Structure 1
Amino acid sequence: MSWPPLREELRGVAPYGAPQLSLEQAPVQLNVNENPYGPSQAVVDDVAASVAAVAGSLNRYPDREFTELRGALADYLHHEAGVRVDPAQVWAANGSNEVMLQLLQAFGGPGRTAVSFAPTYSMYPEYARDSLTTYVVGRREADFSFDLAEAERVVAEHRPSVVLLPSPNNPTGTALPHEVIGTLCELVGDGGVVVIDEAYAEFRRAGTPSALELLPAHRNLVVTRTMSKAFALAGARLGYLAAAPEICDALRVVRLPYHLSAVTQATALAALRHRDELLGKVAELRGERDALVAWLRERGLSVAPSDANFVLFGEFADRERVWQHLLDQGVLIRVTGPEGWLRVSVGTPEEMAAFRSALVHATAPQEIAP
C-alpha cells in the first residue's frame, strides 16, 4: 500500500496555487489580481491598535457570531451596492474560499451535484472534490457570454443542489445580467442554491448592477464577496456572503468552532472604518483596465470585456512561451483560461508600462493565433 494512506482520488494531485515568486525574481507581479496599492499609515496604525486592543484577551475565544463585524459588513453593502441587508443575512469566514467550501459542505455532499460553466474559477471543482460533491461543468459561448439555453439543459439534466457562478467571471472578467441570475434561481428552485461569486464586484463598470439587488426576490440566492481585492486586504483573509438568514443558519452547522479569530475580526473592522480610503484607488484601477483593453486590441489581440481588475487576452500559438518571456523581463502574469489565452492583473501605471513594454518584446504578429 502506498504511503501516506491518502484518499485515492487525491493521489498525484498538485495543490492549488498560482506561482508565488519573490520580488527579486519578479519585480512586477500581476498574476493574482491583488490591489497594488497598500494601506496608508493611518490604516496600518488603526489595524495595529485594534489588534493590540484584543491581544490582552486572546486567552478567551472570540465572538463566534462576529456580531459587530456582521453589522459593519451589512452597512458596507448598503453603502457600496445600495442594498439593505440585515446582519442576520451576512456570514463571514477566512476568505471567500472558506465561505465557498462551507456552502458546499452544507448544500453539497455525496449524492449531490454542483454545477458551473467554463471557463470559470479553477477552485470550484476542488471545493466539490473536498466536500465529496459531484462536479459538472457546462460551457459558455465562444465570446464568454453566458449561454442560458445551455444552463437550462444542464440544470434540467443534473438537478444541481449548488450552482457556482462568478460575476465578474474569473478568468474572463465578464459580468452576469440580472435576467440570467433570476432565471437560474427559478430553474434551480428550492432544491438548491445559486451562488454568485462577486469577488471583483467593486471593479464593475458603471451601470453593471450587483446580484445583491435580487436577494429579496430569490431565497435560494447567495452573493459572496471578499475584502482581498478592492479592499487591498488579501493578507487578512476575510470573505463573506449575503443570503437568506436560513442559509446563514445552515452554515453554522458546518463551520469549525470559533472559525474567525479575534485578530481577523479586529483587522476587518478597522479596514471597514477606512473603506473610503481603501477603495479610493478603485476608479483609477478601472481606468487603467479600460486603457489596457484598448491597447491590447490595438495590437490585434482578442480581449474579453472586463468588469474586474484583470484582463484576459489572447490568442497565442504558444502562450507558455509568451508567459516565460514576460517573466524573463521581470513581469509575472497568469497562464489560465482557455488554451491560447493569458490573464494580467491591473497594477499601477508604472507596472502597466512595464507589462506593455515586456509584451511588445515578447510577441511578434505571427505569434498571435489566427
Structure 2
Amino acid sequence: MTSLDDLPIRDDLRGLTPYGAPQLEVPVRLNVNENAYRVPEAVALDIVQEVARALPEANRYPDREFDALRASFAAYLGHGVAPEQIWAGNGSNEVLQHVLQAFGGPGRSLLSFTPTYSMYPLLARGVGMDWIGVPRGEGFTITPEAVRAAIEDHDPDVVFLCAPNNPTGTAIPLETVRAAAEAARGIVLVDEAYAEFAHDRSQTALSLLDEHPRLLVSRTMSKAFAFAGIRVGYLAAHPAVVDALRLVRLPYHLSAITQAAAVAALRHADEMLSRVDALRAQRDRIVDELAALGYEPYPSDANFVLVGGVADPRATFEALLARGILVRDVGLPGTLRITAGTEAETTALLEAMAALSGAGSAAE
C-alpha cells in the first residue's frame, strides 16, 4: 500500500505534520480561540434569509469583486477606509496566503517575531520563501528599536506583526508598527485577528494606512463575529495592493453563500459584537484568578490567556481534559494557552486549575 513517504511530494514537505489542534467533543472547549457564544438567533435568521435570496442564482458564478461585501467591511472598519482598499478571502489564512503569493515566493523572505502564530512559517514554506523568526524581548514584547534592528539585519521582503500576538496575547504599540513600516523596503502586514478584544481598540494600525502605502492590516470574522465556521477574513490596504492580490486569487474564490452570510452578519455588527465585552471580562478574570493561585498569566489583549508557571503542561493538559476541559499546549515551556469562555466555562476552568494547584501537580 502506498504511504505518504512513497509519494513524490516536495522535499521540503517531507517529515512535516499538518497544522491543526485537537477537535474533541468535551463540555468545555477552550483550545482554539473560538467565540464561546453562538450567533444570536435573530441574526442567524437574517443570515439564513440572505443566503436563501442568493441560492436561486447559484447556477451563476458569484460576484468576482464581492462589491457589496467590500462596502460592508469598509463601513465597519471606519478610519476612512474605502471599499477599493478591501480584500477578502476564505478566512484570514487565505488572505495571508494571497499576500505571500503576491509579494513572496522563492528567493524572498518573511520575517516575524517569535513566538507567534504558527501558520506564518507554514504559509512561507507553501510559497517557497524563507522564514525568519526573530525572538521577542522580555514578556514577549517588541520595541521599535528591536523591529528596526531586525529589519536592518535581515532585509526581509515581507514582515508580519501579529497584534495582539498569538499565542501570547501581547499588544503591539502603534509606534512599533510605524517603526516597521518606516524601516521595511517591502510589505508590512499587521495581523489584527483579535483586535476587537484589545483593552484599547482605538490603537489599530488602520490609523496608519494613509501614511504607509505598503502597510496592510488583516482582520477576521472568526473571533469577534463568532463566524469561525463560515470562514471569512479580510484586509485593508492601498488599492494598488488589492490590485496585486487579484493576480494570485483563484477565480471566484468567495462563494455567493459566503458573501451573503458575511454581508448579513455585518448589518448586525453591534449585536454580533455584543458578547465581546463579556469575553474580555472572562479573559481578565482568568488572568486575575490564576495569578492569585500562583500561576503566571501574561497580560492579554486577545480572547485568550497564555498561562505561565505550569510545572508540567502536558500533565495539566491531560488532567483538565479528564475533567472535560480542553485547552492548548502550544509548546512554550511551562505554559498553556486558555481561551476565554462563557462565565460558566471559565468557572469550570478556574475550579479545575485551583484543584490541580492544591494537589501540587500544576503550579510551581
TM bucket (normalised to shorter chain) is over 0.9
Q: Is 1:103 matched up with 2:99?
A: yes
- Number of the residue aligned with 1:45: 45
Separation (CA, whole Å) in 2 of partners of 1:335 and 1:139: 19
Taking only aligned residues, the RMSD between alpha carbons, in angstroms, comes to: 1.5
Q: SS state of the match for residue 283, structure 1?
A: helix
Q: Is the 8 A contact 2:356 2:362 kept in 1?
A: no
2:21 to 12, 18, 33: 18
Distance 1:207 1:326, change over 3 A: same
- Number of the residue aligned with 1:236: 230
Q: Is the 8 A contact 2:316 2:361 kept in 1?
A: no
Shift of 1:206: 3.1
- 1:134-165 Cα offsets, whole Å, 9 max, x none, are 00000111311114433333211221111111
Q: Give the aligned length.
A: 361
1:33-112 equivalences in 2 (<5 Å): 33-78=33-78, 83-112=79-108
- Number of the residue aligned with 2:276: 282
Q: Is the 8 A contact 1:138 1:151 kept in 2?
A: no
- Normalising by structure 2, we get a TM-score of 0.96
Shift of 1:207: 6.2
Shift of 1:54: 1.0
- Number of the residue aligned with 1:260: 254
1:3 to 2, 6, 31: 6
1:1-370 equivalences in 2 (<5 Å): 2-22=5-25, 26-78=26-78, 83-188=79-184, 191-206=185-200, 209-336=203-330, 338-364=332-358, 367=361
Q: Which moved more, 1:37-46 or 1:112-121?
A: 37-46
Separation (CA, whole Å) in 1 of partners of 2:35 and 2:313: 25
Q: SS state of the match for residue 21, structure 1?
A: coil
Q: SS state of the match for residue 143, structure 1?
A: helix
Q: SS state of the match for residue 56, structure 1?
A: helix
Shift of 1:287: 1.2
Shift of 1:112: 0.4
- 1:66-93 Cα offsets, whole Å, 9 max, x none, are 0010000000001xxxx11010000000
Q: Is the 8 A contact 1:301 1:313 kept in 2?
A: yes
Q: SS state of the match for residue 156, structure 2?
A: coil
Q: SS state of the match for residue 156, structure 1?
A: helix
Q: Is the 8 A contact 1:172 1:337 kept in 2?
A: no
Q: SS state of the match for residue 31, structure 2?
A: coil
Q: Is the 8 A contact 1:119 1:337 kept in 2?
A: no
Q: Which moved more, 1:170-179 or 1:139-148?
A: 139-148
AA partner of residue 183 (structure 1):
A
AA partner of residue 68 (structure 1):
A
Distance 1:337 1:177, change over 3 A: farther
Separation (CA, whole Å) in 2 of partners of 1:29 and 1:338: 20
Q: Which moved more, 1:316-325 or 1:90-99?
A: 316-325
Separation (CA, whole Å) in 2 of partners of 1:134 and 1:324: 36
- Normalising by structure 1, we get a TM-score of 0.94
Q: Is the 8 A contact 2:298 2:306 kept in 1?
A: yes
Q: Which runs of 5+ in 1 are unaligned?
A: none
- 1:91-150 Cα offsets, whole Å, 9 max, x none, are 000000000011011111011000010110010000000011100000111311114433
Separation (CA, whole Å) in 1 of partners of 2:168 and 2:154: 25
- 1:307-365 Cα offsets, whole Å, 9 max, x none, are 11100011223111101100010000000152111110001010001101111223348
| Identity across matched positions, percent | 50
Q: SS state of the match for residue 138, structure 1?
A: strand
Q: Is the 8 A contact 1:185 1:218 kept in 2?
A: yes
